[in-house]
Structure 1
Amino acid sequence: MTALPGIALAEWRAQGREFNCNGQAIRYWTAGEADAEPLLLIHGFPTASWDWHYLWQPLAQRYRVVACDMLGFGYSAKPRGHAYSLLEQADLQQALLAHLDVREAVHLLAHDYGDSVAQELLARHQEGRIQLASCVFLNGGLFPETHHPVLVQKLLLSPIGPLIGRLFSRKKLAQNFARVFGPRTQPSEAELDAFWALIAHNDGPAVMHRLIRYMPERREQRERWVAAMQATKLPLRVIDGALDPISGAHMVARYRELIEKPDTVLLDGIGHYPQTEAPELVLAHYLEFRQRLEAATCSAALC
């Protein structure tokens, strides 16, 4: 049981605001001092920004934290018949930063599907289209060759995907989460209720088969994204739940093969959702990363 208090879902929802992005209502959250360094949190599939609720206040004490439910997720719009895209979600993150008038370099903390959005933003940073300051990845499919999707993800991508989405339920969610969370850090019934409420809101299961197109899109963008990670001078870190069958220790091993001077942290006994399974550990490793970065910056500036 985490010692961090977290935020109840009803309270979280009440704290959110909305902005319009290309005609779609997007729910977003901000906290912290307006002049603090901006930190953009990017959630995963199939959940939403509430995933960060344990880390939200501790991070907001130090940084200007920003997060949104991406299109098709949580409390944001979930248009039917829409061609959802990771590139569009990156556009959305940039639109949110513009809406908030964030002009300085942005730090990223991402998970799962959000890792892919962060990779696209990193590629855009290399192309001069956005200014980033650092990026930390939690468990996610950074490399298609090491991504091991669960059965329901494969079925959603199949011709029967629309039916699979319609049949998705809280029970199915619980079964799938039981497989990807660590054996000693399983979600509580209350957490499962909250996760399911976010997915089910506005008939979310009806678009899951469209959201899942991110898996082939990852393969399409692999070379560009990996090249950006290999070329960038930005500080990067991976904080990864080692027991995750989707993108656990095997993904980190591949990261260490492909990335020069890899900065990686493996969390023993933790699964696919380290920010909810072991938020204190994630917070400690994230803050250590940032403190080291700040110390290096200060040393370079002779402060």
Structure 2
Amino acid sequence: MPIAEIPLRAWRKRGQDFDFHGRTIRYWVAGQGEPLLLIHGFPTASWDWHYLWQALAQRYLVIACDMLGFGDSDKPLDHGYCLLEQADLQQTLLDHLCVDQPVHVLAHDYGDSVAQELLARHYEGRFRMASGVFLNGGLFPETHRPALVQKLLLSPLGWMIGRAFGRNALSKSFSQIFGPSTRPSESALDDYWSLISCNDGPRILHKLIAYIPQRRRLRERWVQAMQRGGVPLRMIDGEIDPISGAHMVERYQQLIPNADTVLLANIGHYPQVEAPVQVLKHYLAFRDRIGRPASQVAYS
């Protein structure tokens, strides 16, 4: 299935708004069929899915939003950002769209943690998840290796680091976490920075980064949910990502029964951007074989 890029300008025009506890959230919806919820990572936005969007929308009802504090959604300064609230946001969006079927989830990075919480809620009878696929993310805090800028944002001087974070710092950070042959163009970096910087985004980066200690506090709840095995799961991972690469897959295989994992050779932290054709292939293969156990590791 061909991959078609959606320029950021066109992507923004397709978005809609809804209210979440008095905050404006930007969201996108396309296609028809089984609902597929796409959950983006830190510090970017749902435009991360633009290479896959049209191909997925030919098969499914595809839904994504810029979470609170990200992209074109509101970024209140006087707010304590929380992964649990972001899971609430996803459920509120689904209610807004009158989605009442079990939901398939495809998540990345920060979004993996939101998906883990939704999975835990599934087993509590508070959400209905049909399947989950995780792209490079800190599923297990003990294996997550935060980048230097993330460590600095977590420090007492994090508010200063965030306000000083600019387009050049983003370029340097991305050059370290993308694959050597799949780094974003200067134009793409401009677009990423546009999403991060709008609505005074850099002033809240030190608040958003609170997800890292939140992951530690919620680890047991989330890992236990992943180990239950009632919801089909797959991990598709860029192998050379220094944050959550092959070492995260190894830990996944140690902890998750019948672990279904895919390693993408020479791909970094953003596989849906760096290798969208491969991600699409492996995602659709997963959907085609849902319900059948898989223990092998695939390389591509």
Q: Identify the TM-score tier after normalising by the shorter chain.
A: over 0.9
2:137 aligns to what SS in structure 1? coil
Residue 190 (structure 1) shift: 1.0
User: Counterpart amino acid of 2:29?
Assistant: T
> Which of 33, 50, 54 lines up with 1:53 in the alignment?
50
For residue 18 of structure 1, what is the aligned residue in structure 2? 17
Which deviations, in whole Å up to 9, do the C-alpha atoms of 1:216-255 show, x marking residues without a partner? 0000000000000001311000000000000000000000
Kept in 1, the 8 Å contact 2:36–2:60? The answer is yes
For residue 178 of structure 1, what is the aligned residue in structure 2? 175
Is 2:101 the partner of 1:104?
yes
For residue 255 of structure 1, what is the aligned residue in structure 2? 252
Tell me which moved more, 86-95 or 5-14: 5-14
Residue 294 (structure 1) shift: 7.6
Is 2:163 the partner of 1:163?
no
Kept in 2, the 8 Å contact 1:126–1:232? The answer is no
TM-score, length-normalised on structure 2?
0.96
User: Counterpart amino acid of 1:69?
Assistant: D
Kept in 1, the 8 Å contact 2:241–2:269? The answer is yes
For residue 246 of structure 1, what is the aligned residue in structure 2? 243
1:146 aligns to what SS in structure 2? coil
For residue 91 of structure 2, what is the aligned residue in structure 1? 94
Kept in 1, the 8 Å contact 2:232–2:291? The answer is no
2:218 aligns to what SS in structure 1? helix
For residue 280 of structure 1, what is the aligned residue in structure 2? 277
Partners of 2:135 and 2:193 in 1: CA distance: 21
For residue 72 of structure 2, what is the aligned residue in structure 1? 75
Q: CA RMSD in A?
A: 1.1
Partners of 1:212 and 1:232 in 2: CA distance: 30
Partners of 2:288 and 2:151 in 1: CA distance: 40
Kept in 2, the 8 Å contact 1:54–1:276? The answer is yes
> Which of 62, 75, 99 lines up with 1:65 in the alignment?
62
Identical aligned residues as a percent: 66
Kept in 2, the 8 Å contact 1:87–1:117? The answer is yes
User: Counterpart amino acid of 2:189?
Assistant: L
For residue 228 of structure 2, what is the aligned residue in structure 1? 231
Kept in 1, the 8 Å contact 2:4–2:52? The answer is no
For residue 31 of structure 1, what is the aligned residue in structure 2? 30
Residue 283 (structure 1) shift: 0.2
> Which of 41, 65, 69 lines up with 1:44 in the alignment?
41
Partners of 2:41 and 2:229 in 1: CA distance: 23
Which deviations, in whole Å up to 9, do the C-alpha atoms of 1:163-210 show, x marking residues without a partner? 000000000000000000001111111110110000000110000000
Partners of 2:280 and 2:292 in 1: CA distance: 18
Q: Unmatched 5+ residue regions in structure 1? A: 297-303
Partners of 1:232 and 1:254 in 2: CA distance: 17
Aligned residue pairs total 292
For residue 3 of structure 2, what is the aligned residue in structure 1? 4
Kept in 2, the 8 Å contact 1:162–1:209? The answer is yes
